[in-house]
Structure 1
Amino acid sequence: MQTNEVEIKTIQTTSEEEFIMKPYIDWCFKELMRNPKTRTGFIAALLRLPPEQIGRTTILENELSKRTEEEKQGVLDVRVLLESGTQLDIEMQVLYIEYWDDRSLFYLSKMFSSQLQKGESYDKLQKCIQVGVLNFTYFKKDNFCHRRVRFYDEATGDLYSEKLELQILELPKIPKEYHHPDGIIAWMKFFRGGNKKEMEEMAKGNAYLESAYEDLMEMSQDEKKRLAYEARERALRDQLALQHQTEKIFQQIAEVQGELDKAKDTLAETKGQLSETQGQLSKTQGQLSKTQGQLSETQGQLSETRGQLSKTQGQLSETRGQLSETQEQLSETQKQLAEAHAQNDVAHDQGRKDAIIDLYQKGLLNLEQAASSYGMSTEDFQKLIF
C-alpha cells in the first residue's frame, strides 16, 4: 500500500507540461487504436505488410457472443475487421495473468467460431489473429520479445491452416539496441512508454508512430481523458497491490504447506522406521525365545551330564577302591613271589653247592675247580669238606 501512495504522489506532482500518458495502460492503448492511421500502421507491422496494403480497418464490438448463459464470455480490448475479411483481437495486458496461453487460445477460438451463423458454409470463415501485447514476461525460458504462432502439420512440417494465428509481444524483453523505425519492435518500444522527449524520439521517422504520438499528446492535455486515464491507472495499481498481497498470502500458504508436507514426510519416515524397529524387535524377541528354548534344553542336557558325571565319579571311586585292593593284593603276591624266589635261590644255591661237593668227592672235580665253583679258596673249601 505504501508503494501505491508513492506512485500516486509522483503523478500528482508531475507538471502539466511534462505529463504524458503511458500507452501500456490499456485505457490509453484503446484510445490510440481508435485512430485509423495508428491502427493501420500497427497492424501493418504485425502482418509484415506495407501499410497501403492493409486497406480499411473497422473496430468491431469487443464482446464476443455466447451460445448459452453458462458459457464463459470473452471480452476483447480492440477487435478489428480488415477490408480483406481478416479479424484481429488486439489486447493490451498490463498485469500478469496465469495461463495466458490457454486464455489467448480461448479468445482466438471464440472469435473464429463466432463468424458463422446457423446453416452457413465453412468456406465463409476468414483468418483470425489474436494479438497479446504483454507488459510482463510470460515465456521465461527465452529472450524472444515477439513470437508468431501458427498451426503446422507435425509429420510434414507444412502449414495446416493459415486462418488461425497467435502473436505475442512481451514488452519487457525488448532489446536495448534497436533503431529500425518501421518494424514491430519500434511499436513495442513506443507502447512501453517513457518521458515526453523519449516518446517524441521514438516516433521520428515513422508517420504512423508520429500520428500515435500526436494523439497521445492531445489525450494527455485533455482534462476529462486524463482523469479517466488516472482512474484506470490507480485501479491497476490497486489491482497490482492486491495481486502482490494475494501472491504473498499464497506464498505463505505454500510455505506452510511445504512445512506441513515436510512434517508429513518426516512423520511417514518416522513411522516407517518405527515399523522397521518393531519388526526387528519382533525378530529379536523370536530369536530370544528360540535362544531361551535352546538354553533350557542345554541346561537339561547339562543336568543330565552332571548326573552321568556323578554316576561316573561314583564308579570311578569304586574302581579306585577296587584298584587299591588289587594293588594291595598284588603287593602281597609280589612279596610272596619274592620270598619264593629267595627260597628258590637259596635252595638252588645249596643244591649247586651240594652238587659241587659231590662231584669233588667223586673225583670229577679237583680241589681248585671245586673251590672256584663253590666260590671259596681251596683252604676254606677243604675246611668245609673236612
Structure 2
Amino acid sequence: MQPNKTLRKMSKVNPKIDLVFKKLFGSEENKDILLSLINAILPTEKQVSEITLKNPYNVSDYAEGKLSILDIKAEDEQGNLYDIEMQLKGSNFYGKRTLYYWAKMFGSQMDYLTKEEQERKKRKTYFELHKCIVISLMDFEFFEDDKYHRCFTLKDRETNEIHPDLDYLDLYFVELEKFEHKYKTITTILDRWAAFLNNADVYSKNTLPKELAEIESIKKASEKLEVMYLNEKEREYYEAQQKHYLDENSRIQEAVEEAVQEAELKKQLEMAKNAIKEGFDNQIIAKLTGLMTEQIEQLRHKKQ
C-alpha cells in the first residue's frame, strides 16, 4: 500500500503542507472532497450532506502575504461550525492550542451579525449558538496508544451521559504519522484518506492504488494535486515549508536510528559483562556480541 521508501520520488505537491491542504480542500470547486474527508472522520450518526465554506481559498490572499490563515472554516446544514487544519509539527501546548481554537470559534458566534441583523441592531442570544467542531489532522504522534483516530466531547465522567445543553464541543484528532507506521491494512474510508494523504505526492492517476481509486473523492483529490498550480508567492511558501518538513523528517529518522543503535550497544555490553563474569576470553566474547576486543578489554578494566 505504501510506496517503496528507497524509490520514493515526489511527483506532485504534498497535501500535508498547509497551503496545499487548504487549496485542495478549502476551494469552492472541491467542496465534495472536503465533505468526503469530514464524513470519513465523523461517526455514522453524525454524517453531513452539505458544507458551506466560511473562508474559501483565495489566491489573492497569498499575493498579499496573508499566509497564516491556513485552516479551513466551514458550516454544515445544521449550522454546526468546523475548523479543519493540517499540522506538521507538534508542541508541548498543542492540546491547549486546540481548545483555544474551539473556544474562539464558539465565542465568536455571539459577535458575528449578518448585515440584516446589524441593520436591525439585533443581538445574538445563547439559543442561537451551534456546536463547534475542531478537526486536527496531525503528521506526528500526540497520544501514547496505537489508535490514530479519536474524538473528545463533554460527558459525565461516571455515566458517560451527554447533556444536550452541553453537547457543543467535538475535538477530532487524526494522527497520520501513527497510521503510516502502525497500520498495515485498510478497511474504512478514513483509512483510505489517511493512506492517500501520507503518500499523495508520489501517486499519479496511473499509480493510485485500487483501494484508493475506488473512492471517487480521493481519485478527484489525486487528479487535482497532479495539475495544481502555485504562483510565485505560493511556491516560495510551499518550498520553505516542504524543506522544513523534509528536514524535520530526516532529523526524526536520525534520532530513531541513534536510539536503536544505543539500545543495541547497551544489549551487547550487557552480554559482554555477563560473559566476562563467566570467564570467557575476549575472542569468544567478541564473536558472541559483535563488540571489538578493545571494547571488551575496557569493560574488564572498568570491572576492576
TM range (shorter): 0.5 to 0.7
Per-residue deviation, residues 133-153 of structure 1 (Å, max 9, x unmatched): 1111122x2111111111111
Is 2:12 the partner of 1:20? yes
Matches within 5 A, 1:1-386: 19-33=11-25, 34=27, 35-49=30-44, 54-61=48-55, 77-117=71-111, 119-139=123-143, 141-160=144-163, 161-174=166-179, 175-180=182-187, 182-194=188-200, 195-197=202-204, 200-201=208-209, 203-219=212-228, 222=229, 224-225=230-231, 228-229=234-235, 231-238=237-244
Deviations 1:186-237 (A, max 9, x none): 1111111252259611531111111111111121xx3x35983464232453
Give the residue type in structure 2 aligned to 1:96: G
Q: Do the aligned partners of 2:133 and 2:171 also contact (CA within 8 Å) in 1?
A: yes
Deviation track 1:59-87 (CA, whole Å, cap 9, x = no partner) reads: 2138xxxxxxxxxxx95611111121011
Decide which moves more: 24-33 or 115-124: 115-124
Instruction: Assess if the C-alpha contact under 8 Å between 1:27 and 1:229 holds in 2.
Output: no
Where does residue 60 of structure 2 map in the other structure?
none
What secondary structure is seen at the aligned counterpart in 2 of 1:215?
helix
Gaps of 5+ in 2: 1-6, 57-67, 112-121, 252-304
Of structures 1 and 2, the one with the larger relative CO (CA 8 A, separation 6+) is: 2
Identity %: 26
Relative distance call for 1:205 and 1:211 in structure 2 (3 A) is same
> Hey, what does 2:279 align to over in structure 1?
none
- Bigger Cα Rg: 1
Confirm or deny: 8 A CA contact 1:76 1:89 kept in the other structure. Answer: no
Deviates more, 1:42-51 or 1:106-115: 42-51
Q: Distance in 1 between matches of 2:218 and 2:45?
A: 14
Structure 2 counterpart SS, 1:156: coil
DSSP-derived class of the 1:159 partner = coil
1:38 Cα deviation from its structure 2 partner:
0.3
Superposition deviation, residue 90 in structure 1: 0.3
Total equivalences in the alignment: 214
Checking the alignment, whether the CA contact within 8 Å between 2:133 and 2:170 is kept in structure 1 is yes
Alpha carbons of 1:241 and 1:205: their partners in 2 closer, same or farther (altered >3 Å)? closer
RMSD of aligned C-alpha atoms?
A: 3.3
TM-score using structure 1 length: 0.49
Q: Which has the higher helix share?
A: 1
3-state SS of 2:167 partner? strand
Uncovered stretches (5+) of structure 1, i.e. residues with no partner? 1-9, 63-73, 246-386
**TM-score (ref. length: structure 2):** 0.61
SS in structure 2 of the partner of residue 131 of structure 1: strand
Q: Distance in 2 between the 1:231 and 1:122 partners?
A: 40
Secondary structure of the residue aligned to 2:49 is: coil
